[in-house]
């Protein structure tokens, strides 16, 4: 929806309007599912597997069932439903076999949390422990244990995914553009390397929680801390073969999501417990520990990149192989693989490209969506690799990026042509370079180095991301006028903290010309009363729901004008309006207040006309297509948002300790709708990115037990972990089909923080880092060319069981051919 976005004409768009949801959130009165108690409500608890892979020999629930207060006990044998977003591979409770540490094996519902916990303790599960496959590279070997021997029989979405039966490959995404081999032959340099990321946890402050009541005649009501109520409803109905009208999903305030609450999680299990308990509502809230292993995480990634570069620094060919560790179930990981596959090069033009992206099953907690949807992980590889290639060919890393960055006329990996209104990644790069004084140290910095004994380094990394969503993703908005002339806006998009409620209120107030105090965007979501929205994910909320809101405003005004034209006895074409009245342009005193027509106008003689004014706007992504499964060609992206981070860090050259002095972040957002909200997204995302860059990550022992499922040993950034200086920069090249020119930017701030830091550390002390996170010890080891510690699977207390060294490539020098 291209609107006039000249700042001088805008009342709300572009202003730091205060949030609409703070009255409740600041006073402790906002209701989260965590806070809800329903009459007769039961409390559920889950019996979890202590093993990574084991045959379930016997589950004895007799003692639990006998405990007073227990109303329902379920095991895998009691249930015959499988769930899955894209590949239907997961039982609600493990059947026959457990596939990861922390998997649900049995569940109970009881009249109190204490009784439920006691009952779970009384369930006795006999296991036959089996050898797990833990490392995703090992899982690709010919003789690897199969996590899902029946993969070939599973239902899956064929248009987008390619599971490989009789292997651990849940999906294989291919992309072929040009002729890579010819490109490598032509290249002056070929540089090849491998980069790693661990699994990490989203850490929403509110853990997953759901209340379900399975009522008479299979009427089911679900209250869930979820990002996507309509997806929960659709998948739930699919699993239980229920009509959509039978199931109502309610989402009140949500204590953070970050992708972890995008799909369907606790709801089916809680529903089964409610059904067994005779329809009483049942509540299950994950403990923080369960959040780490009962619920999903972000997939680990091993990324191999081979790049052929011409003498002048132009990339000619690039072969990219991604090995995504799905863990035990495919969930979102297969789609992360797909989305990362078509974006794998980052914001660079690669004339000859080859991508193989695999989603690999292992016996570990499974991966799901996480802010950035794969892009945080693979940009670590790409943006460290760009640095390595630039250094190898003796070119300034910034110049190397500039030569290869997407620009108007460039063709992306999938064959899409970049235009002047797609966004400008080079402008972002140059903005952050200026902000950090890239490429040299100031006199003050040199003095600081001498005084402190620490080395100062500066690094930059670029990024891109488009929403990863079906080509026909749709949403809608309904705007209802109240009898006081105010409007109430219903959208299916959830408010998980990102501030959409406020940004959309601004768009509605702007488009209607109303005072924003008279625009109410509903925060609580209900699939029975709100219009459909696909999901609250993918940084598509502002652009898609924003467009839907604009269309709904148009519809509302049209309907209002139709009534007003009768009342005012004027042509619709002669009408105009402000926040109070509809009036005749050439006779402004001939007007009618909105509130007089809001629910229908009554003539002085009592006759009525009109009726409640309701504007409806539907918006569907346009011009997108499925990708060809053999070549990956097609148009997957509604909007590309480009950005860059620049980091100044200070590294102790002896110990590897470092501090981040400054982070500058720039994004081409199209149009800023709310500067304060945007800064909150940028800084919040950047700090989350810094957390995964510096300290977060799952650590397992060699039996597949998760060793750090809590805040004791999985730290996240605190208020003390901020860089000393933060600069947030915006570039505004309007998105032609975005509301007021805006495009999405919710996930992007998290992407490429880690490689910017890695590049800065390398420039400071020449530590060559290929794996995340970058702990002080990693820097210390890299400085001394020691083997990196195997981060993610360690023996207790020391040692490792990393994959076969022959299967890995850690020799950039030997891989460079002249």
Partner 1 sequence: MRINVTVNGIAYERDVAENRTLLRFLREDLGLTGTKEGCGAGECGACTVFFNGKTVNSCMVLAVEANEGTIETIEGESSGGMLSTLQEAFDRHHAVQCGFCTAGMIMSARELIHHTPHPTVDQIQEGLEGNFCRCTGYEQIIEAVLDVTGGYTAKEELLHV
Partner 2 sequence: MIHRFSYTAPTELTDLLALLETAGPGAKLLAGGTDLLVNIRNGLVKPNTVVDVKRIPEAHAIMSDNTKGLRIGWAVTINDILKNTDIASSYQLLQTCAHDLASYQVRNRATVVGNIVNASPCSDMAPALLCLDASIEIASSKAYRTVPVRQFFTGVKRTVLNPDEMVIGITIPIQSKGAKGKYRKLKRIQGHDLGIIGVAVAQVGDGMRIGVSSAAPTPVATGNLPLDISVSDAIAVVDALISPISDVRCTKEYRRFMVSEFTRRLLVEVRA
Q: Which residues bind partner 2 (CB under 8 A)?
A: 114, 117-118, 121, 654-655, 657, 659, 694-695, 699, 707-708, 712-713, 715, 717-721, 775-777, 780-781, 789, 794, 796-799
Distance CA 341, CA 120 (A): 42
653-672 footprint of partner 1 as x/- string (CB under 8 A): -------------x-----x
Distance CA 372, CA 365 (A): 19
- Taking the complex as a whole, how short is the minimal distance between the CB of residue 710 and partner 2, in angstroms? 9
Q: Is 61 in the site for partner 1 (CB under 8 A)?
A: no
Helix (H, G, I), strand (E, B) or coil at 380: helix
Q: Smaller CB distance to partner 1: residue 24 or 804?
A: 24
Residues paired with residue 321 on neighbouring β-strands, in sequence order:
304, 356
Interacting partner of 60 out of partner 2, partner 1, none (Cβ under 5 to 8 A depending on kind): none
Which of the stretches 174-182, 591-599, 704-712, 733-741 binds partner 1 when contact is defined by CB under 8 A?
A: 704-712
Q: Is 420 in the site for partner 1 (CB under 8 A)?
A: no
Contacts of 384 (CB under 8 A, 6+ apart): 195, 755, 758, 759, 769, 770
Applying CB under 8 A, which of residues 3, 5, 13, 30 lies at the interface with partner 1? 30
Distance CA 327, CA 359 (A): 9
Cis peptide before 773 (omega within 30 of 0): yes
Helix or strand (DSSP H, E) at 192: strand 189-197
Applying CB under 8 A, which of residues 718, 785, 813, 814 lies at the interface with partner 1? 718
Whether the CB-CB separation of 653 and 454 falls below 8 Å is answered with yes
Number of residues this chain uses to bind partner 1 (CB under 8 A): 69
Q: Is 497 in the site for partner 1 (CB under 8 A)?
A: yes
Distance CA 665, CA 460 (A): 10
Applying CB under 8 A, which of residues 3, 89, 97, 206 lies at the interface with partner 1? 206
Interacting partner of 288 out of partner 2, partner 1, none (Cβ under 5 to 8 A depending on kind): partner 1
Q: Smaller CB distance to partner 2: residue 207 or 486?
A: 207
**Tokens coding 506:** 């601004």
Q: Smaller CB distance to partner 2: residue 530 or 652?
A: 652
Distance CA 240, CA 221 (A): 14
- Taking the complex as a whole, how short is the minimal distance between the CB of residue 708 and partner 2, in angstroms? 5
Q: Smaller CB distance to partner 1: residue 18 or 572?
A: 18
Q: Is 8 in the site for partner 1 (CB under 8 A)?
A: no
Q: Smaller CB distance to partner 2: residue 438 or 780?
A: 780
Q: Smaller CB distance to partner 2: residue 58 or 715?
A: 715
> Counting beta carbons within 10 angstroms of the beta carbon of residue 138, is it exposed (0 to 12), middle (13 to 18) or buried (19 or more)?
buried
Give the up-direction half-sphere exposure of residue 454: CA atoms within 13 A in the CB hemisphere. 18
Query: Under rule CB under 8 A, which residues in 277-296 are in contact with partner 1?
Result: 287-288
Q: Smaller CB distance to partner 1: residue 617 or 741?
A: 741
- Taking the complex as a whole, how short is the minimal distance between the CB of residue 793 and partner 1, in angstroms? 25
Applying CB under 8 A, which of residues 66, 129, 159, 205 lies at the interface with partner 1? 205
Distance CA 218, CA 109 (A): 19
Q: Smaller CB distance to partner 2: residue 440 or 784?
A: 784
* C-alpha distances out from residue 170 to 22, 408, 460, Å: 43, 36, 34
Helix or strand (DSSP H, E) at 209: strand 209-214
DSSP state of 411: B
Q: Is 586 in the site for partner 1 (CB under 8 A)?
A: no
- Taking the complex as a whole, how short is the minimal distance between the CB of residue 326 and partner 2, in angstroms? 23
Q: Smaller CB distance to partner 2: residue 129 or 654?
A: 654
Distance CA 317, CA 306 (A): 8
Interacting partner of 164 out of partner 2, partner 1, none (Cβ under 5 to 8 A depending on kind): none
**Tokens coding 224:** 């869930």
Whether the CB-CB separation of 719 and 683 falls below 8 Å is answered with no
**b/e per residue 550-577 (b: at least 16 CB within 10 A):** bbbbbbbbebbbebbbbbbebeeeebeb
Q: Is 647 in the site for partner 1 (CB under 8 A)?
A: no
Residues that bind partner 1 (CB under 8 A): 16, 18-19, 21-32, 34-35, 37, 202-207, 253-258, 287-288, 427, 431, 435, 496-499, 666, 672, 675-680, 683-688, 710-712, 716-720, 722, 726-732
């Amino acid at each position: 929806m291209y609107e006039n976005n000249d700042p001088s004409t805008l009342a709300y768009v572009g202003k730091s309007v205060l949030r609409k949801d703070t009255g409740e959130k600041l006073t402790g009165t906002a209701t989260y599912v965590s806070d809800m108690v329903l009459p007769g409500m039961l409390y559920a608890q889950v019996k979890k597997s202590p093993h990574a892979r084991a045959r379930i020999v016997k589950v004895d629930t007799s003692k639990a069932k006998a405990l007073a207060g227990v109303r329902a006990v379920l095991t895998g044998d009691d249930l015959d439903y499988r769930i899955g977003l894209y590949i239907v591979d997961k039982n609600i409770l493990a059947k026959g076999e457990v596939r990861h540490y922390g998997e649900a094996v049995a569940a109970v519902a009881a009249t109190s949390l204490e009784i439920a916990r006691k009952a779970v303790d009384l369930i006795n599960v006999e296991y036959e422990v089996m050898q797990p496959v833990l490392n995703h590279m090992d899982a690709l070997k010919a003789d690897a244990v199969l996590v899902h021997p029946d993969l070939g029989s599973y239902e899956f979405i064929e248009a987008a995914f390619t599971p490989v039966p009789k292997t651990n490959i849940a999906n294989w995404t291919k992309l072929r553009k040009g002729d890579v081999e010819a490109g490598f032959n032509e290249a002056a340099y070929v540089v090849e390397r491998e980069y790693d990321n661990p699994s990490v946890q989203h850490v929403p402050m509110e853990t997953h929680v759901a209340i379900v009541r399975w009522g008479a005649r299979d009427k089911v009501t679900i209250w869930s801390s979820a990002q996507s109520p309509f997806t929960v409803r659709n998948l739930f109905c699919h699993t239980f073969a229920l009509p959509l009208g039978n199931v109502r999903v309610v989402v009140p305030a949500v204590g953070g999501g970050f992708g972890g609450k995008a799909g369907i999680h606790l709801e089916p299990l809680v529903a089964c417990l409610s059904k067994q308990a005779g329809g009483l509502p049942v509540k299950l809230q994950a403990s923080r520990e369960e959040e780490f292993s009962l619920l999903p995480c972000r997939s680990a990634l091993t990324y191999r990149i081979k790049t052929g570069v011409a003498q002048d620094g132009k990339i000619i060919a690039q072969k990219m192989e991604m090995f995504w560790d799905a863990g035990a179930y495919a969930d979102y990981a297969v789609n992360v693989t797909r989305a990362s596959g078509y974006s794998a090069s980052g914001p660079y033009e690669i004339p000859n490209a080859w991508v193989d992206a695999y989603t690999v099953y292992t016996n570990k907690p499974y991966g799901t969506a996480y802010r950035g949807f794969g892009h945080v992980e693979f940009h670590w590889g790409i943006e460290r690799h760009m640095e390595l290639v630039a250094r190898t060919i003796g070119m300034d890393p910034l110049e190397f990026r500039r030569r290869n960055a997407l620009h108007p006329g460039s063709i992306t990996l999938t064959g899409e042509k970049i235009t002047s209104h797609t966004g400008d990644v080079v402008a972002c790069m140059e903005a952050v370079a200026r902000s950090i004084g890239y490429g040299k140290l100031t006199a003050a910095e040199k003095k600081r180095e001498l005084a402190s004994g620490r080395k100062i380094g500066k690094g930059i990394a670029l990024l891109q991301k488009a929403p990863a969503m079906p080509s026909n993703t749709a949403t809608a908005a309904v705007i209802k006028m109240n009898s006081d002339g105010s409007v109430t806006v219903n959208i299916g998009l959830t408010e998980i903290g990102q501030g959409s409620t406020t940004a959309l209120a601004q768009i509605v107030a702007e488009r209607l010309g109303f005072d924003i105090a008279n625009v109410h965007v509903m925060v609580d979501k209900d699939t029975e009363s709100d219009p459909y929205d696909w999901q609250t994910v993918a940084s598509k909320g502002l652009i898609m729901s924003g467009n839907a809101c604009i269309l709904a405003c148009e519809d509302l005004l049209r309907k209002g004008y139709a009534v007003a034209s009768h009342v005012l006895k004027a042509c619709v074409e002669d009408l105009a309006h402000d926040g109070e009245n509809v009036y005749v342009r050439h006779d402004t005193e001939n007007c009618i207040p909105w509130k007089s027509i809001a629910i229908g106008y009554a003539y002085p003689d009592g006759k009525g006309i009109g009726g409640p004014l309701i504007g409806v706007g539907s918006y569907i992504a346009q011009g997108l297509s499925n990708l060809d499964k053999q070549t990956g060609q097609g148009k997957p992206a509604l909007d590309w948002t480009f950005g860059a981070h620049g980091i100044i860090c200070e590294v102790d050259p002896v110990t590897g300790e470092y501090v981040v002095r400054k982070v500058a972040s720039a994004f081409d957002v199209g149009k800023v709708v709310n500067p304060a909200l945007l800064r909150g997204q940028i800084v919040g995302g950047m700090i989350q990115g810094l957390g995964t860059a510096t300290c977060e990550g799952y650590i397992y022992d060699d039996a597949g037990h998760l060793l750090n499922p809590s805040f004791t040993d999985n730290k996240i950034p605190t208020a003390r972990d901020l860089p000393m200086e933060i600069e947030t920069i915006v570039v505004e090249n309007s998105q032609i089909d975005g509301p007021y020119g805006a495009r999405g930017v919710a996930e992007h701030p998290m992407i490429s923080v880690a490689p910017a830091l890695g590049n800065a550390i390398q420039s400071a002390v020449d530590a060559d880092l290929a794996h995340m996170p970058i702990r002080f010890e990693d820097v210390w080891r890299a400085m001394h060319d020691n083997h990196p510690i195997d981060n993610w699977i360690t023996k207790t207390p020391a040692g490792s069981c990393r994959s076969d060294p022959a299967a890995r490539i850690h020799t950039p020098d030997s891989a460079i051919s002249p």
